[in-house]
Amino acid sequence: MSSKLKLENKTSFLKNILMLMFSQVIIKVLGLIYKVVIVDVEGFGNTGNGYYSTGYQIYMILLALSSMGIPNVVSKLVSERIAKKDFKAAHRVFRFCLAIFSVLGIIFALTLFFGAEIIATGLLKATGVKYTLMALAPALLVVPPTAVIRGYFTGLGSLKATSTTLVIEQFFNCVLSIGFVYACVGQDTAIMAAAGNLSTSCACIIAFIYLIFFFARRRGDIMAECRAQTEVSEEKSRGDMVKTILAISIPISFSSLISVLGSAIDTVTVSRCVQNAFSALGSTAQSLEEKAMELYGILQKAETVTHLPLAISATFCTAIVPVISAAIAKSDRDEANRKISSSFFINSLFIFPCMAGFIILAEPILKLLYPSVPDGALVLSLLTISLPFSSINFILNGILYGVGKTYVPALALTVGSAIKLGLNIWLVNIPEINIYGAVCSTVIYNILIFIIELSVVAKIVKPKINIVKCFIKPIFSSLVMGVAVFFVNGLLQKFISNTASTLVSIAVGIVVYGIMVLVTKNLDKEDLGSVPMGKKLAIVLEKFKLI
């Protein structure tokens, strides 16, 4: 193998994971920044956020069908052939996947662009969303081939293509979204929302161009390896190759589709149900649509805030889940229990203080992030209840995949989605409840998934979880932190600005929570040893008898 390809294949798994984790944190922070900025632009507000998010969720459904599972499909097929040193077959898989999914992308892009008005008026009952859908259609042209190239290099042993392009894509999305929305100030709110989403298409195109150059720089080494291959390459007819690709991609795409169903249900039902709820007041069709978009925009603001800790939780779980899977595969139940318990503990250590902070500081946080449209504190507080269940579901999914029960997460999501759909239609149609019905259904949705998946994990894996260490102590420490933050923020609000008091309160909360974790002696050497610089920190803390 050529030197460059050798270097990529020897890249450590840990380095790849840390690279991806770092990129995911950057992506979520950039995503929070531009969404906060554009909502605060004059003329955009909650209503613009509603138009923006409604169109984007429809785009995500088509994205799930056309490309979400592609990297996993391609990397699996390529890595299997690379393991056998069949570079020709690996490259042939890449070419076939590139052709198949590029065509699929064209079909979905044309469907979204020309079907925008039908989707907006017939399905969503929100005419203004059609502009957003049309602005997002070009992204579907390049996202599938981009996903294929990412999957190809992942199969070769490098996540650089994935992590770099994701950051590039989100950076340009952030900059262009803010620029495009400001350029459209004074236009109709729906047009401003479409301009914001046009940045997604532009950012995807820029990321695709980068990947073309990335591939071109390595194409010579790849082709040289194919020419140097002396073994007979695996030969499959085009029909067999297509069958193999589709046999793997269809189940993965189905799982990806199910994973976005929760948000999609809100997208499809909230607008219609809110308009039905307020129609008795004698409002015009236009005002009803704007009311629906305003309330949906408030919901999306809250989800933007809660998605930040969930993203960090998910990336940490991504790092630890393969270790759990490996232990289960080797039938090492003790090791599996240790890793499962560790993953629950680290997740709880992080997610419960976030939960307490969001509930106590819901109003100040929204005033800090969205000064011109700070409403939605109760929505954020209620939505925060689902955080621990959502985060633990990431771990449960990984465990179930590790034991080969891949259908369980899909089943749990399907059941949860069905219940959520029914609750949305029932609750959001009640004027006094309106958008809070969608929030309550989301909480119940995540709890149901948690119960189903936990019951299967408990039956099959039978994990031994230290309840006191993993849950009681983190919850107690979070409660103490919450009380401290409540009184500190209440006092500071009387003397200094909301921005200053909120930031100081968050800082106080971090310090108080850190002290409580040490006081309750809820850390040990093994816990710290699993994180970067943890062993050195353990030596220091041990000297002061804090672990």
| Total domain count, the chain | 2
Q: Does residue 506 form part of some domain? A: no
pLDDT tens digits for 455-480? 998 888 777 788 888 899 999 999 99
Q: What's the confidence (pLDDT) of residue 6?
A: 43
Q: Does residue 496 form part of some domain? A: no
Q: What's the confidence (pLDDT) of residue 319?
A: 53
Do 251 and 277 lie in a common domain? Answer: no
Amino acid, res. 297: G
Q: Is residue 2 helix, strand or coil?
A: coil
| Residue whose token pair is 């002396």 | 230
What is d(CA 63, CA 176) in angstroms, rounded to the nearest whole number? 21
Class of residue 414 by CB neighbours under 10 A (exposed 0-12, middle 13-18, buried 19+):
middle
Do 50 and 155 lie in a common domain? Answer: yes
Do 188 and 149 lie in a common domain? Answer: yes
| Residue whose token pair is 């939780």 | 313
Distance from chain centroid for Cα 216: 30
Do 275 and 222 lie in a common domain? Answer: no
What is d(CA 460, CA 463) in angstroms, rounded to the nearest whole number? 9
Q: What are the residue ranges of helices labelled H in 461-497?
A: 467, 473-492
A 10 A CB-CB count for 437 gives 23
Do 361 and 323 lie in a common domain? Answer: yes
Q: Does residue 25 form part of some domain? A: yes
Class of residue 389 by CB neighbours under 10 A (exposed 0-12, middle 13-18, buried 19+):
buried
- pTM, two decimal places: 0.79
- Domain termination residue (choose one: 403, 438, 465): 465
- Domain termination residue (choose one: 465, 491, 513): 465
Q: What's the confidence (pLDDT) of residue 326?
A: 57
Do 185 and 270 lie in a common domain? Answer: no
- Domain termination residue (choose one: 446, 465, 484): 465
Do 119 and 63 lie in a common domain? Answer: yes
Question: What is the extent of the structural domain holding 352?
Answer: 261-465
Do 252 and 286 lie in a common domain? Answer: no
What is d(CA 147, CA 98) in angstroms, rounded to the nearest whole number? 9
Nearest to 53 by CA among 284, 239, 288, 304: 304
Do 271 and 395 lie in a common domain? Answer: yes
Q: What's the confidence (pLDDT) of residue 243?
A: 74
What sign has the CA pseudo-torsion 436, 438, 443, 448? positive
- Name residues of the chain where pLDDT drops below 70: 1-21, 67-73, 83-84, 157-159, 220-239, 248-259, 282, 312-330, 401-402, 404, 524-547
Nearest to 489 by CA among 359, 381, 360: 360
245 and 95 in contact (C-beta within 8 Å)? no
Do 290 and 250 lie in a common domain? Answer: no
Helices then strands, each counted (H, E), the chain: 24, 0
What is d(CA 367, CA 362) in angstroms, rounded to the nearest whole number? 9
pLDDT tens digits for 484-529? 999 999 999 999 999 999 999 999 999 999 999 888 887 766 656 5
- Sorted by sequence, the CB contacts under 8 Å of residue 6 that are 6+ apart come out as none
- Sorted by sequence, the CB contacts under 8 Å of residue 100 that are 6+ apart come out as 242, 245
Nearest to 266 by CA among 425, 449, 47, 386: 425
Residues in the chain: 547
What is d(CA 56, CA 303) in angstroms, rounded to the nearest whole number? 14
Do 102 and 247 lie in a common domain? Answer: yes
